[in-house]
Amino acid sequence: MALSTAEVETDESVHSTFASRYVRTTLPRFKMAEHSIPKEAAYQIINDELMLDGNPRLNLASFVTTWMEPECDKLIMSSINKNYVDMDEYPVTTELQNRCVNMIARLFNAPLGDSEAAMGVGTVGSSEAIMLAGLAFKRKWQNKRRAAGLPTDSPNIVTGANVQVCWEKFARYFEVELKEVKLREGYYVMDPAKAVEMVDENTICVAAILGSTLNGEFEDVKTLNDLLAEKNKETGWDTPIHVDAASGGFIAPFLYPELEWDFRLPLVKSINVSGHKYGLVYAGIGWVIWRNKEDLPDELIFHINYLGADQPTFTLNFSKGNITIHS
């Protein structure tokens, strides 16, 4: 949500042409009214004001889904009053999220076996997913450095300068330096060779984008993986890769199944994807999937006991989202 500022001028009123029959005195705009009004009038006033918003169906600039089948609308409306975090009360909703995590982990070719269990969580969108993935990388790097008696005060992430603003947000909020590979004339994505050159012992991960926000182009994750694997071998650092597949995660597996960008590449440890972009769902859902249990430090998982059973969660907010342990 945009940051709102409290207005000093409080005498302004709401203009309510069509509800005026019910509204005998003007309604204050920035403070609560002294008296209540009929709910029908309140509806009419708000509905009329909202007509001044643009029409989402005509918003061709949006990456975000603006139409779903009527059956989906019905399902959404019949579940809208459930608090997603209350997994004991809504076990079927939880089961549906578990199935989604399983499907997406498989779609992204997570290695599944007795000792390998991909994990994932539903989020509000790719931004929250990226905050969580970034936190996991930062904590893992800190744990490793502390165990080796090395300083942990200057973590960095290497990305292309074309990253979406949520990476800058992550860097600023969670105090990680963002080292951006510059773009150049005719080349508007991260150059994998330059990215690997910028990696140092404080790099918590290299973030590649599958579907650059600027032009939709896929970055070359395979070359990045191979070059980084060589550098890791030389230095012994073990620097991982995150793929920001906000836009491309639900495109590449279907249109380019041979393209290796996902968990088929050994250094790819986590991937985020927005359901509400090419996953064709209204705004408010994204996912982050980790390759393996070890890629998500246990101390970041909160075990809450809401109504009797243990509920492992890893989210930035409380009333939505839960975590699934894939088996």
Ligand X SMILES: Cc1ncc(COP(=O)(O)O)c(C=O)c1O
CB nearer ligand X, residue 19 or residue 170: 170
244 touches ligand X (CB under 6 A): yes
246 touches ligand X (CB under 6 A): yes
Q: How far is the CB of 168 from ligand X (least distance, A)?
A: 11
CB 286 within 8 A of CB 128: yes
Q: Residue 326: CA atoms inside 13 Å, Cβ hemisphere, count?
A: 28
CB nearer ligand X, residue 19 or residue 207: 207
Residue 313 CA to residue 279 CA, distance in Å, equals: 23
Cβ partners under 8 Å of residue 15, min gap 6 = none
132 touches ligand X (CB under 6 A): no
Q: How far is the CB of 246 from ligand X (least distance, A)?
A: 3
66 touches ligand X (CB under 6 A): no
Q: How far is the CB of 125 from ligand X (least distance, A)?
A: 3
- H runs (alpha helix) in 249-307: 252-255
249 touches ligand X (CB under 6 A): no
As given in the structure block, the two tokens for residue 115 are 């000792």
Residue 273 CA to residue 210 CA, distance in Å, equals: 10
166 touches ligand X (CB under 6 A): yes
Question: Which one among 65, 117, 122, 125 touches ligand X, defined by CB under 6 A?
Answer: 125
| Interacting span for ligand X (CB under 6 A) from 135-143, 208-216, 223-231, 293-301 | 208-216
As given in the structure block, the two tokens for residue 184 are 């150049």
Cβ partners under 8 Å of residue 39, min gap 6 = none
Binding residues for ligand X, rule: CB under 6 A, are 63, 125-127, 164, 166, 209, 211, 213, 244, 246-247, 274, 286
